[in-house]
Amino acid sequence: MNAGGGGGGSSSSSSSSSSSGAGEVRRPVYTKSRVTAGVLAILLGGIGIHKFYLGKSGLGILYLVFCWTYIPAIIGLIEGIAYLLSNDESFAVKHDKGYRMV
């Protein structure tokens, strides 16, 4: 009887550990901050610093080449506001290459 109770206890603990794994909430891990990207875009968007921060060097160079036209500054301001108004998940899906679920 004691051995049966011990066997039942170990099987229920293994089933409870497997059920807790299935019921776990997976949380995303972000490598880039949307707030940092937004502030960089608003303050230094005219020279493309936010694009370099997000790992988009080609676009950052394009912003640098055309910075004398002030068009990148206007686009950077709009992008910065959009970054700050978006939620973390949508920002990570669009802009964060290191986004993953753990």
Range of the domain at 35: 27-101
Residue 22 lies in a domain: no
Mean of the per-residue pLDDT values of the chain:
81
Question: Would residue 63 count as lying in a domain?
Answer: yes
Question: Which whole-number Å values give the CA distances from 17 to 4, 11, 12, 22, 94, in the listed order?
Answer: 20, 10, 9, 9, 35
Residue 17 belongs to some domain of the structure: no
Residue 4, domain member (yes or no): no
pLDDT tens readout for residues 18-38 = 444 566 777 667 788 999 999
| Full-model pTM | 0.68
CA angle 77, 99, 73 (to 5 degrees): 10
Dig out the tokens for 62 from the structure.
Answer: 């394009």
Task: Decide if 11 is inside a domain.
Answer: no
Domain count along the chain: 1
**Domain assignment present for 34:** yes
pLDDT in tens, 67-91: 999 999 999 999 999 999 999 888 8
Any residues with CB less than 8 A from the CB of 49 and at least 6 apart, and which? 40, 41, 60
